[in-house]
């Protein structure tokens, strides 16, 4: 049975599988979403941890049974869009419905020459590294009465564009990296390869309004009462892995890339 925290055991299984060339196996060329999830599910099976797998559009993708931990899995084609991703069901966070959420980002070849191919690199991170807010509750709402006859409904279905660890950091490409809150206990299998600091923004978006006449979206913001609060994380690798240092990228570059991705989707 696993001896450490579940996220440590899961990470070890993923790193070992990559070193031992355990490949992603795509069932068909039309399988554009679940092939990396299936590879990760096989790693969970290897841990002997009991877990439940969610269906399409459920969050997180995998929920452990004996502990309140969950894993959300994001596969990224490389080369391709890897600095940020679309979150359709939930804004990223380290906590959801009483569970601690960990995110697993894996890159794989964008144009493989067959239906079996490697995981190129991987980051498993605590959800708070992406967003430390635990209070926001995602809900989709609707407005009725639109159109000339008043019988059309507008559905407000939110999509969040969030940076990935590959976009937030340097030194994670081509490696297997674990990112956890600085106070999170790890064991002797791991060594530290980076100290990462994230600071809360000056403003918080608390709402928005869309003008259907001008097609403009206007955000509503307030001062963040915890502006400047520091959230410290550490990056780890297994002892016999590369020691390349992991560091934060400038926040202005990350914000610019997310804004660019949002514009491309409009």
Residue 125's domain comprises 6-199+231-265
Band of residue 113 on the pLDDT scale cut at 50, 70, 90:
confident
Q: What is the mean pLDDT of residues 211-218?
A: 94
Kindly state whether residue 141 falls inside one of the protein's structural domains. Answer: yes
- Indicate if the pLDDT at residue 34 is higher than 80: yes
Asked whether residue 36 carries a pLDDT value surpassing 90, the answer given is: yes
Residue 219 within a domain: no
**In this prediction, what percent of the chain has a pLDDT beyond 70?**
95
Report yes or no on 207 lying in a domain: no
- Going by C-alpha positions, the residue among 168, 130, 129 that lies closest to residue 247 is 168
Do the Cβ atoms of 158 and 194 come closer than 8 Å? no
Q: What is the pLDDT of residues 76-101, one digit of tens each?
A: 999 999 999 998 878 999 999 999 99
- Position 261 pLDDT exceeds 80: no
Could you tell me how far CA 105 lies from the centroid of its own chain?
Answer: 6
Distance CA 257, CA 259 (A): 5
Residue identified by tokens 């144009």 is 111
| pLDDT for position 88 | 84
- 107-116, 119-128, 226-235: least confident range: 107-116
Degrees (nearest 5) of the Cα angle 20, 190, 232? 125
- Answer yes or no: is 220 within a domain: no
Q: What is the pLDDT of residue 191?
A: 97
Could you tell me if residue 221 is inside a domain?
Answer: no
pTM equals 0.93
Mean pLDDT (the chain, rounded): 92
Residue 87, number of CB atoms within 10 A of its CB:
19
Residue 224 placed within a domain: no
Average pLDDT over residues 29-39: 79
Buried b / exposed e along 15-44 (16+ C-beta atoms within 10 A)? bebbeeebbbebeeeeeeeebbbbbbbebb
Q: List C-alpha distances in Å: 102 to 29, 46, 70, 186.
A: 29, 18, 6, 15
What total of structural domains would you count in the chain? 1
Residues of the chain with pLDDT > 90, as a percent, come to 81
The confidence score (pLDDT) of residue 163 equals 96
Over the stretch 164-176, which tens digit does the pLDDT of each residue have? 999 999 999 999 9
Alpha helix segments (H runs only) across the chain = 6-19, 35-47, 165-168, 251-265
Question: Please, which pLDDT band fits residue 2 given cuts at 50, 70 and 90?
Answer: very low
């Amino acid at each position: 049975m696993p001896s450490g925290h579940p996220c440590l055991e899961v990470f070890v299984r993923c790193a070992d599988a990559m070193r031992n060339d355990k490949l992603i196996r795509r069932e068909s060329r039309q399988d554009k979403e679940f092939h990396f999830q299936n590879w990760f599910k096989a790693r969970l099976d290897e841990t002997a941890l009991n877990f439940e797998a969610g269906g399409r559009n459920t969050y997180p993708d995998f929920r452990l049974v004996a502990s309140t931990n969950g894993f959300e899995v994001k596969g990224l084609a490389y080369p391709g869009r890897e600095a940020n991703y679309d979150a359709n069901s939930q804004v990223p966070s380290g906590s959801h419905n009483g569970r601690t959420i960990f995110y697993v980002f894996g890159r794989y070849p964008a144009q493989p020459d067959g239906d079996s191919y490697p995981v190129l690199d991987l980051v498993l991170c605590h959800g708070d590294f992406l967003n430390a807010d635990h209070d926001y509750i995602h809900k989709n709402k609707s407005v009725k009465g639109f159109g000339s006859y008043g019988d059309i409904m507008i559905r407000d279905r939110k999509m969040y564009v969030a940076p990935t660890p590959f976009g937030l950091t340097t030194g994670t490409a081509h490696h297997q990296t674990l990112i956890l809150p600085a106070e999170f206990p790890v064991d002797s299998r791991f060594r530290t390869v980076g100290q990462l600091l994230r600071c809360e923004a000056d403003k918080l978006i608390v709402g928005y309004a869309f003008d259907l006449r001008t097609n403009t979206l206007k955000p509503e913001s307030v001062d963040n009462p915890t502006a400047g609060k520091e959230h410290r994380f550490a990056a780890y690798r297994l002892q016999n892995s590369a020691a390349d240092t992991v560091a934060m990228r400038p926040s202005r570059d990350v914000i610019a890339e997310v804004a660019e991705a949002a514009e491309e989707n409009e």
